[in-house]
Structure formats: structure tokens, C-alpha cells
Amino acid sequence: MSVLPIITWPDVRLQTECAAVEAIGPEIEQLVGDMFETMYTAPGRGLAASQVGVMRRLFVMDATWKEGDMNPLVCINPSIVPLSDARSTNEEACLSIVGVSADVSRPNEIELSYTGLNGKRVTAVIEGFAAVCAQHEMDHLDGRVIFDHLGAPERAALEAKYKEII
Ligand SMILES: [Zn+2]
């Protein structure tokens, strides 16, 4: 396994929708191993394939490892259905937008469906920080980032702050 370079905003690939993973084989297995290595090293709680320049619908996450509880999850061709009208706002950071964070509002509870590395389709109801993490990574697969959740003035201010940092 190796640590891959993480591409950063405003790279156009972070604004581009990813295509479905068509077959799960050695290449995808290798990519997933490298993505976990990259995510844990960063260190982060989630990483989408597009963040390492692979334009496929795949992300890895581990919402709890920083608290000492490892829960690695591989989501291939994921889909998300919001289950609650209730939303919460969390301060979200992104490995591709280093140095700034944004308050992002999202549904509290979601149904997450995905194919695992074993090829089996799984559907799970998740909430709390794991739901935030999954929705953030899902956004990447659709070419969306934290900036896209902000109103125009907030976005302009945060992008200006980011550009000063990089
Ligand atoms: Zn991100």
C-alpha cells in the first residue's frame, strides 16, 4: 500500500461527477488499500477516489478511528436517501481544501447503500457523524465540495480566505 497525492481545490476534477465502478478486481482492491493508507496518513476520516484523481464512484471512510475505534468502510457505487427532515449543522473540513472549514447543514439520518469489496450490496441506516462523513464523501463523487453548500457571500469570503492560505 502506498500514500497517494491528494489533489486540492480548485482542481477541476473536484468539480466533476464521477463514473460508476464497473468491475471490482485487483485494480480496485489496490486503489482501496492505497486510499485507506492515504486517508489515515493525512489524517482524515473520509476520502473519495476523485480526491486522488480517480474519477470513479468510490469512497472510503472511518468516522471513529481518531477516537481509537477503527471502523473502515469501503463504499462502491454508493447511493444515499435522506430519512429525516431534521438537519444539523457541523463544521466540516476537507483534505482537498486545507486550512479552512465550513458550516454545512445536512439531514441527520440517511439510508446508505453501497457495494463492498466482496461485491455484495449493503443497505444501512446511519446517523450522527458517520452520516455527515458519508454525505461529504458522496458530494465529492458528484463534483460537489463544502463551498457548494454556502450562500454566495459566505462562499466568496471563504474562498478568498482559502486563496490567501494556499
Ligand atoms: Zn472532502
Q: In what order do the strands lie in the sheet with 73-82?
A: 46-48, 58-61, 73-82, 109-115, 121-127
Check: pTM over 0.75? Answer yes or no.
yes
**What is the Å distance from ligand 1's center to 84 Cα?**
23
Specify the pLDDT at position 129.
94
Specify the pLDDT at position 84.
85
Render pLDDT for 13-36 as a digit per residue (tens, 0 to 9). 999 999 999 999 999 999 999 999
* Burial class (CB within 10 angstroms; exposed 0-12, middle 13-18, buried 19+) of 27: exposed
- For the chain, the domains span 12-165
CA angle 103, 36, 127 (to 5 degrees): 45
Specify the pLDDT at position 166.
84
**What is the Å distance from ligand 1's center to 55 Cα?**
14
Could you identify the residue written with the cell 457541523? 90
Q: Which of 137, 154, 159, 164 is catalytic?
A: 137
Render pLDDT for 115-141 as a digit per residue (tens, 0 to 9). 999 999 999 999 999 999 999 999 999
Examine the residue annotation and report whether 137 is marked as an active-site residue of this protein. Answer: yes
Write the class of the CATH domain 12-165.
alpha beta
Q: In Å, how far from its chain's centre is CA 3? A: 17
pLDDT > 90: what percent of the chain? 98
Specify the pLDDT at position 143.
98
Give the mean model confidence (pLDDT) for residues 111-117. Answer: 98
Render pLDDT for 40-71 as a digit per residue (tens, 0 to 9). 999 999 999 999 999 999 999 999 999 999 99
Specify the pLDDT at position 1.
86
